[in-house]
Amino acid sequence: MGNKDLLPSREFGLIMSLIIGKFCLKMEDLHYGYWTDDLTVEVQNLPKAQAQYTEVLIGNIPEGVRTILDVGCGTGHTARKLLDRGYQVDCVSPNPHLTKLAKEKLGVQSTIFECRYQELQTDRKYDLVLFSERFLFIHPPEAGMKLFEHILNKDGDILITDVFKITPDEQSPIGGGHHLHIFHDTFSHSPFKLLKEDDITGYIAPTFTVLDDAYTHCVKPAYDLLMTRFKASHPWAMKFILWKFRAKFEKFEKKHFSGKRTAENFAKHKSYRLFLFQKV
């Protein structure tokens, strides 16, 4: 197997989460949930919370939009819902495993560009470019500006929902996201007008309560059991593996089993925002 066949660790994690979530909870999405007061914060309700998130997303698409480019479409679940509501939707999908699932779901109704957004080459233009938890992968954030201008129709819109940093990197136990002030500064110097900005952190943060519970009560016991089993069955091999890959094991355990990836810490260090911009 060559390096080109290997998935980056984050993409591998996404696919594994989807496989487990689809089997256990019939999940179809890879994004966070949107938790309203009538929805109990427990893992069984995560698919419902994700469905509510998608409805909020679609509800913020401006009137008059007909053509949409869904950047980082995942399994194509959101794109499918948009197609069913009469929108014309194309997608960008750099992950071959997720692209396969999206093609099965969307068929010939959508063109899927199998590349990163920054590598996209097309003469097509769209009324709206959608980034649902995908703009954080644009580095630096201003890298997407020229392409926005090229692929958007006159008065076209950009809809972004994503997590942003509001404290210094070293203070947060939860990674990911652009710094909010850098994001604001980038768009303030761009040919795009801010139409809407909503802070929806309070609706998104409970997802971390669900994830923390899952790791505490399911993943960690299974992990500990497997480690104990392998240490007993292959003591010398495990000693070598734990020595050789000690830093990776420590990083994994610190990230997932520290008990710090909670809703409270997410709300303290991150802000989840919805942005709508218009080309001027």
> Cα–Cα distance between 206 and 204 in angstroms, integer?
6
pTM of the full structure? 0.85
The answer to whether 93 and 106 are in contact (CB under 8 A) is no
| Helix axis angle, 9-25 to 46-59, nearest 10° | 110
Give me 46's structure tokens.
Answer: 């995560």
User: What tens digit of pLDDT does each residue of 199-242 get?
Assistant: 999 999 999 898 888 778 777 888 788 889 989 999 999 999 99
At 243, list the tokens: 């020595």
No. of helices (H) and no. of strands (E), the chain: 12, 8
**Domains, the chain, ranges and CATH?**
12-203+271-279 (3.40.50.150), 206-257 (no CATH)
**End-to-end CA distance of the chain, in Å?**
48
Residue closest to 79 by CA, chosen among 32, 113, 45, 47: 113
Inform me whether the pLDDT recorded for 29 exceeds 50.
yes
Q: List Cα–Cα distances, 112 to 31, 115, 118, 121, in angstroms.
A: 19, 9, 15, 12
pLDDT tens-digit map of 152-197: 999 999 999 999 999 998 888 888 899 999 999 999 999 999 999 9
